[in-house]
Structure 1
Amino acid sequence: MSANTGSISTLDITRYFTVQSGINRDATPDEDVALPVDEGGPYSSFIQAYLPTLNGPIAWLPAVEAAIAASVPEEMNHDENEGQWLDADSAHNAIYFLKNTADLFPGYPSIYGTPLGDFVAEFESGAATLTSVVTPDKTLLVGVCLSNPDEQVQSIIPRGSNRLRDAVREFTKKLAEVHGEAVGSAR
Protein backbone atom coordinates (compact mmCIF):
# COMPACT_ATOMS: atom_id res chain seq x y z
CA MET A 1 0.00 0.00 0.00
CA SER A 2 1.21 3.47 -0.67
CA ALA A 3 1.92 5.16 2.59
CA ASN A 4 0.73 8.57 1.42
CA THR A 5 -2.61 7.86 -0.20
CA GLY A 6 -3.91 4.62 1.27
CA SER A 7 -4.35 3.22 -2.26
CA ILE A 8 -2.53 0.46 -4.09
CA SER A 9 0.47 1.68 -6.07
CA THR A 10 1.96 0.19 -9.21
CA LEU A 11 4.97 -0.82 -7.14
CA ASP A 12 2.73 -2.72 -4.71
CA ILE A 13 1.02 -4.58 -7.57
CA THR A 14 4.34 -5.35 -9.27
CA ARG A 15 5.80 -6.60 -5.99
CA TYR A 16 2.68 -8.72 -5.37
CA PHE A 17 2.70 -10.36 -8.79
CA THR A 18 6.47 -10.89 -8.71
CA VAL A 19 6.12 -12.81 -5.46
CA GLN A 20 3.00 -14.71 -6.54
CA SER A 21 4.20 -15.70 -10.02
CA GLY A 22 6.92 -17.89 -8.61
CA ILE A 23 9.88 -15.59 -9.16
CA ASN A 24 10.32 -15.60 -5.40
CA ARG A 25 10.79 -19.32 -4.84
CA ASP A 26 9.75 -18.99 -1.18
CA ALA A 27 6.18 -18.17 -2.22
CA THR A 28 3.89 -21.07 -2.98
CA PRO A 29 1.31 -20.61 -5.75
CA ASP A 30 -1.18 -22.81 -3.89
CA GLU A 31 -1.57 -20.35 -1.03
CA ASP A 32 -4.81 -18.40 -0.93
CA VAL A 33 -3.38 -14.91 -0.91
CA ALA A 34 -5.37 -11.71 -0.97
CA LEU A 35 -3.96 -8.56 -2.46
CA PRO A 36 -3.09 -6.14 0.32
CA VAL A 37 -5.89 -3.59 0.12
CA ASP A 38 -7.41 -1.01 2.36
CA GLU A 39 -10.00 -3.08 4.21
CA GLY A 40 -12.24 -0.03 4.50
CA GLY A 41 -12.13 0.71 0.76
CA PRO A 42 -15.27 0.33 -1.34
CA TYR A 43 -13.76 -2.34 -3.66
CA SER A 44 -11.68 -4.33 -1.20
CA SER A 45 -14.04 -7.31 -1.24
CA PHE A 46 -13.88 -7.57 -5.06
CA ILE A 47 -10.12 -7.86 -5.42
CA GLN A 48 -9.03 -11.44 -6.01
CA ALA A 49 -5.50 -12.75 -6.20
CA TYR A 50 -4.39 -13.63 -9.72
CA LEU A 51 -1.69 -16.26 -9.73
CA PRO A 52 -0.24 -16.55 -13.23
CA THR A 53 1.13 -20.04 -13.71
CA LEU A 54 2.03 -22.22 -16.64
CA ASN A 55 0.14 -25.41 -16.33
CA GLY A 56 -1.12 -27.89 -18.80
CA PRO A 57 0.40 -28.62 -22.16
CA ILE A 58 2.58 -25.53 -22.62
CA ALA A 59 4.50 -25.78 -19.35
CA TRP A 60 7.11 -27.86 -21.19
CA LEU A 61 7.74 -25.31 -23.96
CA PRO A 62 10.67 -23.36 -22.43
CA ALA A 63 12.62 -26.56 -21.69
CA VAL A 64 12.08 -27.87 -25.22
CA GLU A 65 13.05 -24.52 -26.76
CA ALA A 66 16.27 -24.54 -24.72
CA ALA A 67 17.04 -28.11 -25.80
CA ILE A 68 16.48 -27.17 -29.45
CA ALA A 69 18.71 -24.10 -29.18
CA ALA A 70 21.46 -26.15 -27.51
CA SER A 71 21.33 -28.70 -30.33
CA VAL A 72 22.47 -26.36 -33.11
CA PRO A 73 26.22 -26.64 -33.82
CA GLU A 74 28.29 -23.73 -35.09
CA GLU A 75 29.04 -25.76 -38.20
CA MET A 76 26.88 -28.66 -39.36
CA ASN A 77 28.60 -31.80 -40.64
CA HIS A 78 25.91 -34.21 -41.89
CA ASP A 79 28.43 -37.05 -42.26
CA GLU A 80 29.13 -37.09 -38.51
CA ASN A 81 25.60 -36.31 -37.33
CA GLU A 82 23.76 -39.27 -35.82
CA GLY A 83 20.76 -37.16 -34.81
CA GLN A 84 22.33 -35.26 -31.93
CA TRP A 85 22.58 -32.00 -33.92
CA LEU A 86 19.88 -29.95 -35.61
CA ASP A 87 20.18 -27.93 -38.78
CA ALA A 88 19.87 -24.23 -37.88
CA ASP A 89 16.87 -23.74 -40.21
CA SER A 90 15.11 -26.81 -38.83
CA ALA A 91 15.75 -25.64 -35.26
CA HIS A 92 14.43 -22.14 -36.00
CA ASN A 93 11.34 -23.58 -37.70
CA ALA A 94 10.79 -26.08 -34.86
CA ILE A 95 10.78 -23.30 -32.25
CA TYR A 96 8.36 -21.27 -34.39
CA PHE A 97 6.13 -24.32 -34.91
CA LEU A 98 6.02 -25.22 -31.21
CA LYS A 99 5.50 -21.64 -30.02
CA ASN A 100 2.46 -21.41 -32.26
CA THR A 101 0.96 -24.87 -31.73
CA ALA A 102 2.15 -26.24 -28.36
CA ASP A 103 -1.27 -25.85 -26.78
CA LEU A 104 -2.81 -28.05 -29.49
CA PHE A 105 -0.78 -31.13 -28.57
CA PRO A 106 -1.43 -33.54 -25.69
CA GLY A 107 1.50 -32.90 -23.35
CA TYR A 108 5.28 -33.09 -23.17
CA PRO A 109 6.94 -34.46 -26.32
CA SER A 110 9.84 -36.85 -26.76
CA ILE A 111 12.27 -34.93 -28.97
CA TYR A 112 15.22 -35.93 -31.10
CA GLY A 113 16.96 -35.12 -34.36
CA THR A 114 17.54 -37.01 -37.58
CA PRO A 115 20.92 -37.54 -39.29
CA LEU A 116 19.88 -34.81 -41.77
CA GLY A 117 19.41 -32.36 -38.87
CA ASP A 118 15.60 -32.33 -38.91
CA PHE A 119 13.68 -31.95 -35.65
CA VAL A 120 11.28 -34.67 -34.47
CA ALA A 121 8.74 -34.37 -31.65
CA GLU A 122 6.56 -37.30 -30.63
CA PHE A 123 3.46 -36.71 -28.54
CA GLU A 124 1.47 -39.49 -26.93
CA SER A 125 -2.03 -39.44 -25.59
CA GLY A 126 -4.02 -42.37 -24.32
CA ALA A 127 -5.55 -42.65 -27.78
CA ALA A 128 -2.80 -41.91 -30.29
CA THR A 129 0.80 -41.12 -31.12
CA LEU A 130 1.39 -37.85 -32.97
CA THR A 131 4.76 -37.25 -34.61
CA SER A 132 5.92 -33.96 -36.11
CA VAL A 133 9.01 -33.73 -38.28
CA VAL A 134 10.21 -30.18 -38.88
CA THR A 135 12.55 -29.64 -41.83
CA PRO A 136 13.88 -26.42 -43.36
CA ASP A 137 11.02 -26.30 -45.90
CA LYS A 138 8.01 -28.08 -44.32
CA THR A 139 6.49 -29.76 -41.29
CA LEU A 140 5.20 -33.30 -41.62
CA LEU A 141 2.59 -34.52 -39.14
CA VAL A 142 1.90 -38.24 -38.77
CA GLY A 143 -0.65 -39.69 -36.40
CA VAL A 144 -1.45 -43.26 -35.48
CA CYS A 145 -4.42 -44.25 -33.33
CA LEU A 146 -3.78 -47.00 -30.84
CA SER A 147 -7.22 -48.45 -31.56
CA ASN A 148 -6.48 -48.64 -35.31
CA PRO A 149 -2.68 -48.74 -35.86
CA ASP A 150 -2.99 -49.71 -39.53
CA GLU A 151 -4.60 -46.39 -40.45
CA GLN A 152 -2.29 -43.36 -40.41
CA VAL A 153 -3.27 -39.72 -40.70
CA GLN A 154 -0.73 -37.46 -42.41
CA SER A 155 -0.48 -33.78 -43.13
CA ILE A 156 2.25 -31.68 -44.74
CA ILE A 157 2.41 -28.02 -43.80
CA PRO A 158 4.61 -25.97 -46.14
CA ARG A 159 6.96 -23.43 -44.59
CA GLY A 160 5.42 -19.97 -44.47
CA SER A 161 1.85 -21.24 -44.26
CA ASN A 162 -0.48 -18.71 -42.69
CA ARG A 163 -2.76 -21.57 -41.65
CA LEU A 164 -0.39 -23.35 -39.27
CA ARG A 165 -2.74 -23.57 -36.28
CA ASP A 166 -5.69 -24.44 -38.52
CA ALA A 167 -3.68 -27.20 -40.20
CA VAL A 168 -2.71 -28.73 -36.83
CA ARG A 169 -6.33 -28.50 -35.62
CA GLU A 170 -7.55 -30.19 -38.81
CA PHE A 171 -4.90 -32.90 -38.37
CA THR A 172 -5.93 -33.68 -34.78
CA LYS A 173 -9.59 -33.60 -35.82
CA LYS A 174 -8.92 -36.19 -38.58
CA LEU A 175 -7.03 -38.31 -36.08
CA ALA A 176 -9.91 -38.05 -33.63
CA GLU A 177 -12.35 -39.18 -36.35
CA VAL A 178 -10.23 -42.29 -36.96
CA HIS A 179 -10.11 -43.05 -33.25
CA GLY A 180 -13.54 -41.82 -32.26
CA GLU A 181 -12.52 -39.38 -29.50
CA ALA A 182 -10.29 -36.38 -28.86
CA VAL A 183 -6.56 -37.02 -29.14
CA GLY A 184 -5.08 -33.52 -28.92
CA SER A 185 -5.50 -30.71 -26.48
CA ALA A 186 -8.95 -29.33 -25.76
CA ARG A 187 -8.02 -26.05 -27.50
Structure 2
Amino acid sequence: MEIAIAGIRTACADCLRPGKEVGEFGRFVPAFGFDARELLRHSVYMRMVGIVESYVDSLFSQLMQGVSANGNEAMRLAAEDLVLQASGGWRQREDLFARYFGIKLKSLAGGRFTSIVDVRNIIAHGQGRVTAKLMEKEGLSLRLQQIDVAIQDARIILGDDGIARCESVCISYISDLDAQACVGRQL
Protein backbone atom coordinates (compact mmCIF):
# COMPACT_ATOMS: atom_id res chain seq x y z
CA MET A 1 0.00 0.00 0.00
CA GLU A 2 2.72 2.46 0.96
CA ILE A 3 4.55 1.97 -2.34
CA ALA A 4 1.40 2.60 -4.37
CA ILE A 5 0.58 5.74 -2.39
CA ALA A 6 4.15 7.01 -2.76
CA GLY A 7 3.91 6.50 -6.54
CA ILE A 8 0.69 8.50 -6.70
CA ARG A 9 2.13 11.31 -4.58
CA THR A 10 5.26 11.45 -6.73
CA ALA A 11 3.26 11.60 -9.97
CA CYS A 12 1.10 14.42 -8.63
CA ALA A 13 4.03 16.37 -7.19
CA ASP A 14 5.91 16.12 -10.50
CA CYS A 15 2.95 17.61 -12.35
CA LEU A 16 2.08 20.34 -9.87
CA ARG A 17 5.63 21.52 -9.19
CA PRO A 18 5.80 25.28 -9.86
CA GLY A 19 7.66 26.06 -13.06
CA LYS A 20 7.50 22.45 -14.23
CA GLU A 21 8.94 22.27 -17.73
CA VAL A 22 6.99 20.11 -20.14
CA GLY A 23 10.04 19.27 -22.21
CA GLU A 24 10.66 18.55 -25.84
CA PHE A 25 7.40 16.70 -26.44
CA GLY A 26 5.66 20.10 -26.41
CA ARG A 27 6.53 20.61 -30.05
CA PHE A 28 4.35 17.62 -31.02
CA VAL A 29 1.27 18.75 -29.11
CA PRO A 30 -0.59 20.70 -31.85
CA ALA A 31 -1.47 17.36 -33.48
CA PHE A 32 -3.45 16.50 -30.33
CA GLY A 33 -5.27 19.82 -30.21
CA PHE A 34 -4.22 20.96 -26.74
CA ASP A 35 -1.20 22.47 -25.06
CA ALA A 36 1.79 20.65 -23.59
CA ARG A 37 0.75 21.38 -20.00
CA GLU A 38 -2.61 19.73 -20.61
CA LEU A 39 -0.90 16.72 -22.18
CA LEU A 40 1.27 16.43 -19.07
CA ARG A 41 -1.82 16.56 -16.83
CA HIS A 42 -3.51 13.84 -18.90
CA SER A 43 -0.40 11.64 -18.63
CA VAL A 44 -0.14 12.10 -14.88
CA TYR A 45 -3.86 11.38 -14.42
CA MET A 46 -3.47 8.15 -16.39
CA ARG A 47 -0.42 7.21 -14.32
CA MET A 48 -2.20 7.71 -10.99
CA VAL A 49 -5.23 5.64 -12.07
CA GLY A 50 -2.86 2.99 -13.47
CA ILE A 51 -1.16 2.72 -10.08
CA VAL A 52 -4.54 2.12 -8.44
CA GLU A 53 -5.41 -0.53 -11.04
CA SER A 54 -2.11 -2.27 -10.45
CA TYR A 55 -2.60 -2.18 -6.69
CA VAL A 56 -6.14 -3.57 -6.93
CA ASP A 57 -5.01 -6.41 -9.21
CA SER A 58 -2.03 -7.22 -6.97
CA LEU A 59 -4.20 -7.26 -3.87
CA PHE A 60 -6.78 -9.50 -5.52
CA SER A 61 -4.02 -11.90 -6.56
CA GLN A 62 -2.59 -11.94 -3.06
CA LEU A 63 -6.00 -12.53 -1.48
CA MET A 64 -6.73 -15.37 -3.91
CA GLN A 65 -3.37 -16.98 -3.12
CA GLY A 66 -4.40 -16.98 0.52
CA VAL A 67 -7.72 -18.61 -0.33
CA SER A 68 -6.14 -21.34 -2.47
CA ALA A 69 -3.06 -21.96 -0.32
CA ASN A 70 -4.62 -24.84 1.60
CA GLY A 71 -6.56 -26.22 -1.32
CA ASN A 72 -5.86 -28.78 -3.97
CA GLU A 73 -4.54 -28.24 -7.51
CA ALA A 74 -8.02 -27.61 -8.92
CA MET A 75 -8.60 -24.87 -6.37
CA ARG A 76 -5.25 -23.27 -7.19
CA LEU A 77 -6.04 -23.30 -10.92
CA ALA A 78 -9.49 -21.84 -10.29
CA ALA A 79 -7.92 -19.04 -8.23
CA GLU A 80 -5.43 -18.30 -11.01
CA ASP A 81 -8.30 -18.09 -13.51
CA LEU A 82 -10.16 -15.63 -11.26
CA VAL A 83 -7.04 -13.46 -10.98
CA LEU A 84 -6.89 -13.25 -14.78
CA GLN A 85 -10.60 -12.40 -14.95
CA ALA A 86 -10.21 -9.64 -12.35
CA SER A 87 -7.65 -7.84 -14.47
CA GLY A 88 -10.11 -7.67 -17.37
CA GLY A 89 -11.66 -4.36 -16.36
CA TRP A 90 -13.36 -2.50 -13.55
CA ARG A 91 -16.68 -4.38 -13.83
CA GLN A 92 -14.88 -7.69 -13.43
CA ARG A 93 -12.85 -6.36 -10.49
CA GLU A 94 -16.00 -5.05 -8.81
CA ASP A 95 -17.91 -8.31 -9.32
CA LEU A 96 -15.11 -10.55 -8.10
CA PHE A 97 -14.16 -8.46 -5.04
CA ALA A 98 -17.84 -8.38 -4.02
CA ARG A 99 -18.43 -12.08 -4.67
CA TYR A 100 -15.34 -13.50 -2.99
CA PHE A 101 -14.43 -10.93 -0.35
CA GLY A 102 -17.58 -8.90 0.24
CA ILE A 103 -15.82 -5.67 -0.74
CA LYS A 104 -17.83 -3.15 -2.76
CA LEU A 105 -15.19 -1.33 -4.78
CA LYS A 106 -17.65 1.31 -6.01
CA SER A 107 -18.27 2.49 -2.44
CA LEU A 108 -14.60 3.08 -1.63
CA ALA A 109 -13.31 6.69 -1.45
CA GLY A 110 -16.86 7.93 -1.05
CA GLY A 111 -17.80 6.47 -4.45
CA ARG A 112 -15.75 9.13 -6.27
CA PHE A 113 -13.30 6.74 -7.91
CA THR A 114 -15.90 5.80 -10.54
CA SER A 115 -15.75 9.41 -11.78
CA ILE A 116 -11.95 9.27 -11.76
CA VAL A 117 -12.16 6.19 -14.01
CA ASP A 118 -14.60 8.06 -16.30
CA VAL A 119 -12.00 10.82 -16.75
CA ARG A 120 -9.32 8.20 -17.36
CA ASN A 121 -11.51 6.67 -20.07
CA ILE A 122 -12.13 10.07 -21.66
CA ILE A 123 -8.36 10.59 -21.85
CA ALA A 124 -7.56 7.06 -23.01
CA HIS A 125 -10.34 6.53 -25.53
CA GLY A 126 -11.24 10.05 -26.62
CA GLN A 127 -7.94 11.95 -26.26
CA GLY A 128 -9.66 14.30 -23.83
CA ARG A 129 -12.92 14.47 -25.77
CA VAL A 130 -16.00 13.02 -24.15
CA THR A 131 -17.20 10.15 -26.33
CA ALA A 132 -20.86 9.88 -27.29
CA LYS A 133 -21.16 6.77 -25.11
CA LEU A 134 -19.93 8.62 -22.03
CA MET A 135 -22.01 11.73 -22.80
CA GLU A 136 -25.08 9.52 -22.43
CA LYS A 137 -24.21 8.78 -18.80
CA GLU A 138 -26.69 10.55 -16.60
CA GLY A 139 -25.14 13.16 -14.33
CA LEU A 140 -21.67 12.86 -15.87
CA SER A 141 -21.00 16.59 -15.92
CA LEU A 142 -22.04 17.02 -12.28
CA ARG A 143 -20.01 14.00 -11.14
CA LEU A 144 -16.94 15.33 -12.92
CA GLN A 145 -17.41 18.76 -11.35
CA GLN A 146 -17.31 17.03 -7.95
CA ILE A 147 -13.78 15.87 -8.74
CA ASP A 148 -12.73 19.27 -10.13
CA VAL A 149 -12.97 18.34 -13.82
CA ALA A 150 -15.18 20.37 -16.17
CA ILE A 151 -16.58 19.61 -19.61
CA GLN A 152 -16.45 22.37 -22.21
CA ASP A 153 -17.32 21.80 -25.86
CA ALA A 154 -17.30 18.01 -25.28
CA ARG A 155 -13.71 18.21 -24.00
CA ILE A 156 -12.55 17.77 -20.42
CA ILE A 157 -10.85 20.68 -18.74
CA LEU A 158 -8.29 19.22 -16.36
CA GLY A 159 -6.45 21.75 -14.23
CA ASP A 160 -4.19 21.51 -11.22
CA ASP A 161 -7.20 21.15 -8.90
CA GLY A 162 -8.35 18.10 -10.88
CA ILE A 163 -4.89 16.54 -10.60
CA ALA A 164 -4.81 17.19 -6.85
CA ARG A 165 -8.32 15.74 -6.46
CA CYS A 166 -7.33 12.64 -8.44
CA GLU A 167 -4.37 12.17 -6.09
CA SER A 168 -6.62 12.50 -3.04
CA VAL A 169 -9.29 10.11 -4.35
CA CYS A 170 -6.73 7.52 -5.51
CA ILE A 171 -5.01 7.52 -2.11
CA SER A 172 -8.36 7.27 -0.29
CA TYR A 173 -9.39 4.41 -2.56
CA ILE A 174 -6.23 2.42 -1.88
CA SER A 175 -6.40 3.12 1.86
CA ASP A 176 -10.09 2.15 2.07
CA LEU A 177 -9.50 -1.03 0.09
CA ASP A 178 -6.51 -2.00 2.20
CA ALA A 179 -8.51 -1.45 5.40
CA GLN A 180 -11.43 -3.53 4.13
CA ALA A 181 -9.15 -6.31 2.94
CA CYS A 182 -7.45 -6.27 6.36
CA VAL A 183 -3.95 -6.51 4.98
CA GLY A 184 -1.22 -4.63 6.73
CA ARG A 185 1.59 -5.68 4.45
CA GLN A 186 3.19 -4.01 1.45
CA LEU A 187 2.35 -5.24 -2.00
Q: Normalised by the size of structure 2, how large is the TM-score?
A: 0.30
**Bigger-Rg structure (1/2):** 1
Q: Normalised by the size of structure 1, how large is the TM-score?
A: 0.30
